Structure 1
Amino acid sequence: MVRFKNRWLLVELIPAQNSGSQLPTPLDGQKIWAALRQSVLSNFGDVGWGSVASSMSVKYYSPTTNICIIRVARDHHRIAWGALTLLTGIEGSRYIPNVIHLSGTIKHAQLAAISHNREVVARYRAQAKTPSAYQDSYDEYLQTSSMEIEGLQD
């Protein structure tokens, strides 16, 4: 019996400044998956989509820190990564995808996501110039997001 092996991409979707002052479209896993599907189809064609279609899924997305975890088959993860890199917008809003981590197990993707969430929250706090002992809603967010991320199953 052969085991199905995956790769896990931890991606930060950075909202780019639009020419107008409109806010970026709120994202969810389905919108990210649809945009990634369209990017695979336009850049790699039907053959590229056929190779990643059955295995690609968005397992987690956080609107607060704009990170998502994407699962794809190990043999074709470069197609998904390439399509993600060539992705410029999601539903009319511009985003810059930044692949933070690539791992072979969901556990390492979870650890990288939790670590990245802490770094982003520290950046938010530094921008707000709050003292390190200050209690705010980010503490609660870090706890709930860590529990959500750790609860992901393969």
Structure 2
Amino acid sequence: MVRFKNRWLLVEFVDTSTVDASAEKGSLSTRPLDGRLIYNALRDSVVTNFGDTGWGAVGMSLNVKYFSPLTNLCIIRVARDQHRIAWGAVTLLTNIHDVRVIPRVIHVSGTIKHTQLSAIAHNREVIARFRTKLKNTALHHDSYDDYLARSTREIEALHD
């Protein structure tokens, strides 16, 4: 039996159009982004930058496993041998569905467990930043706690 070896990329998409607005509001606005749109943008980036050969190498194993619209955090699975092509395609992304983004690869791992731990820690850091920007933390305390609990359950439920 053959074991498929994967690499897991934890990517944050920094939205450049709401950087100033989010500093004033204290939280990021939700946009119509989802895993499917990110996958399509990655596919287009691979084809544009690495051609059909690059897509042929990456296409069968590339998979967006998780995306959070609040924290813009994404978990991407790709075959170990082709993870550099996927990483390059992520880095070369400039917009997703007409939303200008700056991708930031936070963590690369060979196991989903370490990616999950890193994603949960990153979510806590982002929510802590949101809370410090708010003037009245009591209003959003419950919603952020609920989000952290829900996102932690979703991330821990991911399987290879």
Name the TM-score, length of structure 2 as normaliser.
Answer: 0.88
CA distance in 1, matches of 2:78, 2:40: 15
Q: 44, 48, 55: which is aligned to 1:42?
A: 48
Q: Which runs of 5+ in 1 are unaligned?
A: none
Aligned to 1:94: 100
CA distance in 2, matches of 1:98, 1:46: 25
Q: Is the 8 A contact 1:15 1:24 kept in 2?
A: no
Q: 1:118 to 1:24 in 2, by over 3 A?
A: closer
SS at match of 1:112: helix
Would you identify which runs of 4 or more consecutive aligned residues in structure 1 move more than 6 Å? none
Note the C-alpha offset of 1:109.
0.5
Q: What RMSD in Å do the two structures reach over aligned CA positions?
A: 2.0
Q: Is the 8 A contact 2:46 2:86 kept in 1?
A: yes
Q: Is the 8 A contact 1:24 1:93 kept in 2?
A: no
Aligned to 2:17: 17
1:5-154 aligned at under 5 Å gives the runs 5-17=5-17, 25-130=31-136, 135-154=141-160
Note the C-alpha offset of 1:24.
8.1
% identical aligned pairs: 63
Q: Deviations over 1:36-84 (max 9, x none)?
A: 0000000000000000000000000001100010000000000000000
Q: Which runs of 5+ in 2 are unaligned?
A: 22-28
SS at match of 1:54: coil
Aligned residue pairs: how many?
A: 150
